[in-house]
């Protein structure tokens, strides 16, 4: 069975979106399916002339020869270019699909990919699956300052919901996303959840990188860390306030490392200076060095703020941390609580409450036996429920159902 995946972006770029996509196509290939990828004009690359690449045995068609709105010199011209982009993107997907003759077309967020793939699915008479990775309008409310219910906000939701209604199946990646879509009129029977996972063969517990710890002055310290995009929705201001409280509580003071970059980094550095606390801000680090940073951390914190986007969408990073034997602390927002069960696979604290977070950190620092129990519980959870080899089988069930074939035909 051949599946044509239509993606916004892909490897070799490494962000949460591309990591999930890579795991999907890699494990589908191992299942005996034949995944093929086409990426949108928004895929960023220095190799503009490349139309087709083979990466890890999978064909990647590129369409980034098509001009994108960012190339416009005015706001109105950007709207014109966006419409032209979508028209040319649709033709490109139709041409690729006609050549590849897939059994299923699987478009992934955003709506541009679903609308781009729709004509090809209809022309070839094959099912269209639309995978909803996030709630774009709600993300814009937090990160871009959009007003909830504004014209732009409502228009983006209208485009997303229109894409879902036209698809044969919708794949939300979390229960929270499904619940939000149901509240907006998408039929629950049309949806098929495929949650985030982790490759437990790549993310494994490893010895502490003592050389790295020494190089940043953290030898022998209890290290609290965050690895990911440094954005407002992540709630890192709460983490810094909690860290300052930890420093004033006595006992061996923990250390704090923030690995990653983003729009909030400068504000956080200013906040750390104002609080008078030393925080290691690494900025963006090479992808192949991330495991070393994980190795020196005792606890990973995910202090997401209380916002609709965080209530509905689950992050990928906590699963990576759990698979590496790390204890996770997360705020009590819905997307985090889908992953972390308090005192079983991690610790939950009150969102945007520095005292609650500081208490959680110090309670773990002072209780090695509890730390060991939580590490074991988290590892068992990801191995049992969130290994990509297990998660990706759900796509096989969905595809065979759409084609009217017995689910038992799915290779394992």
Residue-wise pLDDT tens digits, 274-321: 999 999 999 999 988 999 999 999 999 999 999 999 999 999 999 999
Distance CA 163, CA 146 (A): 22
Statement to judge: residues 41 and 72 lie in one domain: yes
Statement to judge: residues 252 and 138 lie in one domain: no
| The pLDDT value given to residue 410 | 40
Statement to judge: residues 176 and 251 lie in one domain: no
Domain annotation covers residue 204: no
Statement to judge: residues 82 and 132 lie in one domain: yes
| 131: CATH | 3.40.50.2000
Domain annotation covers residue 200: no
Statement to judge: residues 170 and 298 lie in one domain: no
Statement to judge: residues 155 and 299 lie in one domain: no
Statement to judge: residues 188 and 112 lie in one domain: yes
| The pLDDT value given to residue 409 | 43
Statement to judge: residues 271 and 402 lie in one domain: no
Statement to judge: residues 190 and 265 lie in one domain: no
Residue written as token pair 């419409």: 83
Statement to judge: residues 164 and 250 lie in one domain: no
What is the number of residues in the chain? Answer: 412
Residues lower than pLDDT 70 in the chain: 46, 48-49, 407-412
| The pLDDT value given to residue 352 | 97
Statement to judge: residues 31 and 165 lie in one domain: yes
Q: How many CB atoms lie within 10 A of CB 98?
A: 12
Domain boundaries, position 150: 2-194+392-409
Domain annotation covers residue 186: yes
Statement to judge: residues 66 and 27 lie in one domain: yes
Domain annotation covers residue 201: no
Count of domains in the chain?
A: 2
DSSP collapsed to 3 states, the chain: CEEEEEECCCCCCCCHHHHHHHHHHHHHHHHCCEEEEEECCCCCCCCCCCCEEEECCEEEEECCCCCCHHHCCCHHHHHHHHHHHHHHHHHHHHHHHHHHCCCEEEEECCHHHHHHHHHHHHHHCCCEEEEECCCHHHHHHHHCCCCCCCHHHHHHHHHHHHHHHHCCEEEECCHHHHHHHHHCCCCHHHECCCCCCECCCCCCCCCCCHHHHHHCCCCCCCEEEEECCCCHHHCHHHHHHHHHHHHCCCCCCCEEEEEECCCCHHHHHHHHHHHCCCCEEEECCCHHHHHHHHHCCCEEEECCCCCHHHHHCCCCHHHHHHHCCCEEEEECCHHHHCCCCECCCEEEECCCCHHHHHHHHHHHHCCHHHHHHHHHHHHHHHHHHHEHHHHCHHHHHHHHHHCCCCHHHCCC
Distance CA 364, CA 217 (A): 22
| The pLDDT value given to residue 345 | 97
Domain annotation covers residue 203: no
Domain annotation covers residue 254: yes
Domain annotation covers residue 199: no
Phi, psi of 288 (to 5 degrees): -75, -5
Domain annotation covers residue 90: yes
């Amino acid at each position: 069975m051949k599946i044509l995946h239509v993606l916004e972006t892909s490897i070799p770029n490494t962000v949460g979106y591309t990591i999930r996509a890579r795991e999907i196509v890699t494990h589908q290939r191992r299942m005996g399916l034949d995944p093929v990828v086409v990426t949108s004009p928004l895929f960023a690359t220095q190799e503009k002339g490349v139309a087709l690449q083979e990466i890890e045995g999978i064909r990647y068609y590129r369409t980034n020869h098509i001009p994108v709105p960012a190339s416009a010199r005015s706001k109105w011209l950007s709207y014109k270019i966006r419409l032209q982009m979508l028209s040319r993107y649709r033709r490109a997907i139709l041409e690729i699909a006609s050549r590849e003759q897939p059994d299923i077309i699987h478009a992934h967020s955003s709506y541009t990919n679903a609308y781009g793939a729709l004509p090809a699915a209809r022309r070839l008479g094959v099912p269209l699956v639309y995978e909803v990775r996030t709630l774009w309008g709600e993300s814009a409310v937090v990160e871009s300052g959009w007003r909830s219910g504004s014209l732009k906000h409502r228009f983006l939701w209208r485009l997303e919901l229109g894409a879902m209604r036209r698809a044969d199946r919708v794949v939300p990646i979390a229960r929270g996303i499904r619940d939000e879509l149901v509240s907006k009129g998408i039929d629950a029977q049309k949806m098929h959840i495929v949650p985030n996972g982790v490759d437990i063969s790549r993310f494994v517990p490893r010895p502490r990188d003592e050389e790295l710890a020494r190089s940043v002055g953290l030898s022998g310290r209890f290290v609290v860390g965050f690895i990911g995009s440094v954005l407002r929705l992540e709630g890192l201001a709460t983490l810094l306030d909690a860290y300052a409280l930890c420093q004033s509580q006595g006992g061996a003071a923990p250390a704090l490392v923030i690995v990653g970059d983003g729009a909030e980094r400068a504000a956080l550095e200013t906040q750390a200076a104002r609080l008078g606390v030393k925080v290691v801000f690494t900025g963006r680090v090479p992808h192949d060095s991330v495991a070393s940073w994980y190795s020196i951390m005792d606890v990973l914190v995910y202090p997401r703020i209380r916002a609709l986007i965080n209530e509905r969408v689950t992050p990928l990073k906590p699963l990576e941390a759990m698979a590496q034997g790390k204890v996770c602390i997360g705020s009590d927002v819905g997307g985090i609580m889908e992953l972390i069960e308090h005192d079983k696979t991690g610790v939950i604290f009150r969102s945007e409450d520095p005292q609650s977070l500081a208490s959680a950190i110090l309670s773990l620092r002072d209780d090695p036996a509890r730390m060991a129990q939580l590490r074991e519980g988290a590892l068992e959870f990801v191995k049992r429920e969130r290994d990509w080899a297990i998660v990706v089988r759900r796509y096989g069930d969905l595809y065979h159902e759409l084609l009217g074939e017995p689910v038992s035909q799915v290779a394992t």
